[in-house]
Amino acid sequence: MVYKFKTSKKRSSIMRKIKSNKTAPEILLQKALRKEGVKFKRNYTKLYGAPDIVLAEKKIAIFVDGEFWHGYQWKKKKKKIKANRLYWIPKIERTILRDRQNNQNLQKDGWKVVRFWQKQIEEDLPTCLSKVKDIIEEKPKIISLFTGCGGLDLGFKKAGFDVALANEFDRTIWDTFSLNFPDTALDKRDIRDIPSSEIPMADGIVGGPPCQSWSEAGAGRGLNDCRGKLFFEYIRILKDKEPLFFLAENVSGILLPRHREAFDKILNKFRSLNYNVSYELLNAKDYNVPQDRKRIIIVGYHKKMGKSFNFPKPSGKLITLRDAIGDLKESKPAKLCNKTNDGDLKIPNHEYMIGGFSTIYMSRNRVRGWGEQSFTIQAGGRHAPIHPQAPKMKFIEQNKRTFIRGKEHLYRRLSVRECARIQTFPDSFIFKYDNISDGYKMVGNAVPVEFALILAKKIALDLKNYKYGLEMGELFKKSLTRPPVFAKSTK
């Protein structure tokens, strides 16, 4: 559509007759929203750009733009304008610029801006309506750092969060994460190479910086290890983005006396960023996880929330190995050189590492019974606990155990799937790997899903209460600005 006018007077006369609002597509969308019970205002001139539809309570501004006037596919369409180019091209480009400025001004004031082309509504109204409903019911968003395979992410997702962005540098994990989180963007760079400006805004940041530097079993170099220093990359991004909350998870070894000074330094860094910081040593077995697994959880709430995180109480129910893996049958040993069986498995990932047991491994009992919780699932197949079908190992002398004679065939490592079950991953969560050791590593480094879920539910509730309080505060402020209503005299 291109208008050709002989005179500017004729052009002005025609332009006045063209509808700028209450177009047919706009009315279509309004009717659809009204049918869904959505309350809105039309052509709200008190906001930048006078949005066609405004959902004031949700702070959502909707524009229904005409293709010609607002520059649909402008680079392409611009070339097709033949008549009155000196008039139309500058005019439409001014409109495009004004639209961008209105978007920016609205977003600065905390509004969510939605723009539809008229043809979008005419051709696919249900999709447009669905988009508006998704924004109305918008879930809180998190950024996931040091993501691993996504145990923490899955827990938060089950609690109603969206994972807006995940970051994982280990290429052996990428296929697993992408398969199980197809809607989440995965940044594969080293976190040290990611500018904060390239990370989207979100309600929270979660993650577990590498724990090897703090592990009781490891060298324990703490901040003297390059992996230990990655904690400060987490802090850098937190400082630059300033979300409402953060959650960091790490091993209990960070509380050892040799690390205490460094741990206090990390806590003080968090506190200096305007957060109320809470931390606690928790055992996952107290939170619906069939495993003894002690971890430090650090949660910070931005001071503008006016509160600190209170850790949820233990669930009061202990889940056993029988509950978790008692129904899993027909596991398979890994192939030669501990390669995966992959397509030959009836149950995905239900395969176990083969090979001997080290003297360190044989220095302790590695069997927990069916009625107990598992030992900690570690990030390595060589250290995987023994299946509970086997008798507990026999004590010979200090730092030396042996398998019960005649029962040696029962002593096998837990399979990758059994470890995943103990970490409370659902069977629908598939781990992709060629070397079975990578499967054990992904599972063992993860935060147990159900443990993450309980923490995430508490955070979600606190966020909801905080945002509800803001909404009520805004309504109260508006009520103060309204003129008083006086009763009419009955005299």
> Which residues participate in catalysis according to the annotation?
211
Spatial distance between the Cα atoms of 5 and 83, rounded to a whole number of angstroms: 9
- Residue 325 neighbours by CB under 8 Å, 6+ apart: 388, 414, 418, 421, 422
Q: Give strand ranges (E) for 293-368.
A: 294-302, 332-333, 351-352
Q: Give strand ranges (E) for 152-293.
A: 162-167, 185-187, 204-207, 245-251, 275-283
CA-based nearest residue to 227, from 170, 151, 176, 177: 170
Read off the tokens for 359.
């003297």
User: Cβ–Cβ contacts within 10 Å for residue 382, how many?
Assistant: 16
Strand partners, 167: 187
H-run or E-run covering 85: helix 85-108
DSSP state of 211: -
- Residue 341 neighbours by CB under 8 Å, 6+ apart: 332, 334, 335, 351
Spatial distance between the Cα atoms of 161 and 30, rounded to a whole number of angstroms: 29
Tell me the chain's radius of gyration from C-alpha atoms. Answer: 30
* 204-207 and 351-352 beta bridge pairing: unpaired
HSE-up of 364 (CA within 13 Å, CB side)? 10
Asked whether 66 and 96 are in contact (CB, 8 A), the reply is no
H-run or E-run covering 416: helix 416-422
Spatial distance between the Cα atoms of 478 and 482, rounded to a whole number of angstroms: 7
User: What Å distances lie between residue 295 and 125, 133, 355, 485, CA to CA?
Assistant: 49, 39, 30, 58
Spatial distance between the Cα atoms of 265 and 188, rounded to a whole number of angstroms: 29
Spatial distance between the Cα atoms of 279 and 255, rounded to a whole number of angstroms: 11
HSE-up of 365 (CA within 13 Å, CB side)? 13
Spatial distance between the Cα atoms of 202 and 314, rounded to a whole number of angstroms: 29
Asked whether 417 and 349 are in contact (CB, 8 A), the reply is yes
